[in-house]
Amino acid sequence: MVTRTEIDTGIAKEIQQHLEFGATTRFLHWVRAFMIVFLVASGFYIAYPFLQPDASGEPVIFLQAYNRAFHCMAGFVLIAASIFRVYLFFFAPSSRPERLSFWQLLNPLVWIKTIGAYLFIAKHPHIKGAYNPLQFTTYFVLGLVTLVICLTGANLYANVYHDGLGGVIGICFGWVDSVCGGLANVRAIHHIATWVFIVFVPVHIYLVIWNSVRYPNGGADAMVSGIRYSEERRI
């Protein structure tokens, strides 16, 4: 949809709107974002419970147990949201711009120009789809890290809760323990994957703002409105 037309030195500029992210995709993005923040905070508290409730003879002070329970619930929300997000990527019509981004990976010239743009020595290339090659590769790797943290988290859950859902998860994902070489390694890998998120989040926020300032086409708010703007010139 054309939103604005300008006349500048005989060249007509048309600013067009494009739906880049569907409503469900945007919703799942923020669900996963909030769950990751909560999981990191609660996970570090589980590893180092620095809060001490007042002493009481009554068996009602379950601060660590409550924290662990909410951590597990948030983990299952992250797993569900991530599975649905992968489904949307492959099958949702609104995710077509994201799927188109894959073909940028096969173009070396787009890679070179994109890296040059981040180094301030080249203009950002015109890309087809929602992501440039660096963004697509980063999000793909982050998806793999999410898979690792979900598998190790599920395995840790099954080793604490042996009945009901825990029993089912233990049957389905008991192999994670063997592949990692023991439960201690599962926990270590889970912790390392957490640090990947800790490093990624501030870098991601910085680059989103950086792109929005340098290329004001709706980048920062695209995950809120879903809209990206592009400029077409006509003589």
Residue 13 lies in a domain: no
In which order are the strands placed within the sheet that holds 227-234? Answer: 2-8, 11-19, 227-234
Residue 39 lies in a domain: yes
| Strands 11-19, 227-234: pairing kind | antiparallel
In total, how many domains does the chain have? 1
220 or 135, higher pLDDT: 135
Give 154's pLDDT tier (boundaries 50, 70, 90). very high
Mean pLDDT, the chain, integer: 87
Q: Which amino acid appears at position 23 of this protein?
A: A
Give 3's pLDDT tier (boundaries 50, 70, 90). very low
Q: Which amino acid appears at position 133 of this protein?
A: P
Residue 51 lies in a domain: no
Q: What is the CATH number of the domain that holds 117?
A: 1.20.950.20
Domain that holds residue 103: 21-46+62-218
Residue 230 lies in a domain: no
Predicted local confidence at residue 1, as pLDDT: 47
Q: Which residues contact 69 (CB under 8 A, 6 or more apart)?
A: none
CA distance 54 to 66: 16
Give 130's pLDDT tier (boundaries 50, 70, 90). confident
Rounded to the nearest 10 degrees, the angle between the axes of helix 133-158 and helix 108-118 is: 90
Residue-wise pLDDT tens digits, 80-106: 999 999 999 999 998 999 999 999 899
Residue-wise pLDDT tens digits, 48-87: 888 777 766 666 678 888 899 999 999 999 999 999 999 9
45 or 222, higher pLDDT: 45
What is the model's pTM? 0.86
User: H-helix or E-strand containing 21?
Assistant: none
Give burial (CB, 10 Å; 0-12/13-18/19+) of 191: middle
Residue 7 lies in a domain: no
10 or 86, higher pLDDT: 86
Per-residue pLDDT for 9 more than 60? no
Average pLDDT over residues 105-120: 92
Residue 229 lies in a domain: no
Residue 153 lies in a domain: yes
